[in-house]
Amino acid sequence: MKFYGSTNGITMESENIFTAELEFEHDALLGEGPIWDWRTGSLCWVDIEGFAVHRYDPETRNHKIIDVGQYVGSIAIRRSGGLIAALKSGFASLDPDTGEIENIADAESHLPGNRFNDGKCDPAGRFWAGSLALDEKERDGKANLYYLDVDCSVHLMKSGVTISNGLAWTRDERTMYYIDSQTQRVVAYDYDSISGDISHPRTVIEVNALEKGWPDGMAIDEEGMLWVAHWDGGHVCRWNPHTGAELAEIRVPVSRPTSSVFGGEDFDTLYITTARTGLEPEMLARQPLAGSIFKCRPGVRGLPMNEFGG
Ligand code: ZN
């Protein structure tokens, strides 16, 4: 189905509803943070609670699990080779071929109850990653958002966060989008690519989590629209950050999609990660594909992801 969405209509039309297809069946506990590694034509993602990084080639269906032995919140491509990762023990480089990990800097050694969550690189090559408290009942405001600069210094960019998620930057490199899932909002910041500073936060999308699920990871497309995974909502929705309107919906046959990334040779396929964690046995029985990778070609392309420059 072709996507003909206009970017100013508030009403979602039926042709803007898609159904995701199964790409790779797996039982990840908390599949998250997908990246498209154009160097190898592969999709990589993390299983945060499975302590693993996955690499998968959609063409050959070759799949590799890299055991990292600890929570791994997110990964990104590293310009000098391999990946950069936000591990429980801090920022580290990861060689996906050998599994070798080299620690770089620990941002939260003083907060042993936290772990890293979603992360992504900005247009200048800094690796941004936020955290969350492992104890769900003691989570409010305990987390932070950092970036690892290309010189490997760590910068605290935002505190008082609850569940750090969903980073994206606009093509003109002037705006950063951010999600603290707890707030049920996507927030835009003015972003300075030279200094890395963010300022002037404003809410651009409001999500009713009880109706639509909690906003989690996000991808940006070539038109500057945001594809937000809705945890407990069973869909990834396309939102217009200029109007706050929902434009399209991809239905996923599991309740906990977590994030998405545009990949494939032309960046025209949206790959979606999902989770099994926290689902009761009877819920899991109704969604046996929870934890798998899904895909959809919504008729709009994404852009290559930014790389870590250090
Ligand atoms: Zn997430």
pLDDT digits (tens, 9 = 90+) for 286-296: 999 999 999 99
Mean pLDDT of 178-203: 97
User: Residue with structure tokens 């392309």?
Assistant: 301
Known catalytic residue: 216?
Answer: yes
pLDDT of residue 254: 98
Q: Specify the DSSP class assigned to residue 20.
A: P
Greater model confidence, 28 or 13: 28
Report residue 121 as tokens: 């690189």
Contacts of residue 159, defined as CB under 8 A and 6 or more positions apart, other chains included, come to: 144, 145
SS3 211: helix
User: Is a pLDDT exceeding 90 seen at residue 190?
Assistant: yes
Kindly report the average pLDDT of the chain as a whole number: 94
pLDDT of residue 7: 42
Cα separations (Å) of 7 from 2, 171, 224, 284?
15, 17, 10, 36
State in Å: Cα 248 to ligand 1 middle: 20
State in Å: Cα 161 to ligand 1 middle: 13
Secondary structure of the chain: what % helix, strand, coil (to 5)? Answer: 5, 50, 45
State in Å: Cα 241 to ligand 1 middle: 19
Instruction: Tell me, yes or no, if the pTM score tops 0.75.
Output: yes
Contact 105, 155 (CB under 8 A): no
State in Å: Cα 121 to ligand 1 middle: 15
Q: How far apart are CA 122 and CA 184, in angstroms?
A: 23
Q: Which amino acid is at 201?
A: P
Which domains are delineated in the chain?
6-296 (2.120.10.30)
pLDDT of residue 15: 72
Q: How far apart are CA 215 and CA 237, in angstroms?
A: 9
Q: How far apart are CA 62 and CA 57, in angstroms?
A: 5
Mean pLDDT of 240-255: 97
From 122, 149, 180, 216, the catalytic residue: 216
pLDDT of residue 229: 98
State in Å: Cα 165 to ligand 1 middle: 5
Q: Cα torsion at 187, 191, 196, 200 (round to 10°)?
A: -60
